[in-house]
Amino acid sequence: MPPSFDLLVIGDANPDVIIGPLDAPLAFGQREQLVDSGALTIGGSAAITACGAARLGLRVAFAGRVGDDGAGHYMRDRLAAHGVDVQALHLDESRPTPLTVIVTRDDDRAILTAPGTLAATTGADVPERLLTSARHVHSASFFLMPQLAADLPGLFDTARAAGATTSLDTNDDPSGRWDLAPLAPVLARTDILLPNADEAHRLAGTDGTSVAAAAGLLARQVPLVAVKNGADGALCHDGRTLHTTAGLRVTPQDAVGAGDSFNAGFLAARLAGRSTAEALDLAAVCGALSTRAAGGTTAQPTWEETLTHLTANGDSPS
């Protein structure tokens, strides 16, 4: 029986309130500061990745937990509107939906998150029928959901036994501890690791060396490592070969979620049978195009749009 979904995404879903750009330090003392814009949009690395993949034409399901409140219903409705199956996005009656406020300044941002249901999300929130009916399983925000993190080895085992491949984007560790012991058994079951440059250094313990060196070390633990490197493009390493891409030059309006759109592009390309180098180029275009509007999902491209920009940028999608 063919898989029901191309991609199952497991992890965080929360509204993002994005305001900025702030042209001065954030002020306390009950002072009010005015900024040019504000937006309420889909947030959470996993949720943004799911939307990006659906926009690229994949059949996507999402598994996780939100509160049975206005914010939770907003997330279910918005994900569904983007074409994501949300039957496994559970509503928790006892805890609130996570909320994130993002304050932008120049090319940087401050992120404040109230975790809500994140700490209560577990492997039990992920139905076995989805793990065994998807071509690929992706998990995000490892350090935000410790109970889910502890259950990921078993979830990935179930998916891989059914023939699926797996990927992980750990995202940042808000505690700053970067305790890698719980991560080791997950990496042993991960086919594609998708950190950004800073996360790659943290995971590899290579601060002060090149991003390529960090990727090479991580590729000893995971078959394929693809690293987002901001304005410098991206790179990936399979333990033998290093691929790089300069990406697509755009005038960004908002970089929130660009890395998650990169993830969606990389996974979509690999599931379409593209080579590692092609997947890297396509993913970098997806990440760049997503920055054209406020919010992580507003400007996510279609597959056709991605190929068009890739060709116009001088690369052949072949």
pLDDT, one tens digit per residue, over 253-263 is 778 899 999 99
pLDDT, one tens digit per residue, over 252-296 is 877 889 999 999 999 999 999 999 999 999 999 999 999 988 888
Query: Is the confidence at residue 315, as pLDDT, over 70?
Result: no
Structure tokens at 196: 């950004």
Query: Is the confidence at residue 316, as pLDDT, over 60?
Result: no
Cβ(218)–Cβ(203) below 8 Å = yes
Report the range of poorest mean pLDDT among 20-34, 61-75, 126-140, 187-201: 20-34
> In the prediction, which pLDDT does 317 show?
46
159 CB neighbour count, 10 Å cutoff: 26
Residue with tokens 């991560």: 183
> In the prediction, which pLDDT does 93 show?
97
d(CA 133, CA 129): 6
Mark out the alpha helices in 143-243 (DSSP H runs). Answer: 146-161, 184-187, 197-204, 211-218
**N residues, the chain:** 318
Average pLDDT of span 161-177: 96
d(CA 40, CA 243): 36
Query: Is the confidence at residue 144, as pLDDT, over 50?
Result: yes
CA 315 vs CA 22, 176, 262, 279: distances in Å? 36, 39, 17, 12
Cβ(156)–Cβ(131) below 8 Å = no
Name the strands in the sheet holding 99-105, side by side, starting at the edge strand that comes first in the sequence. 37-43, 14-20, 99-105, 108-114
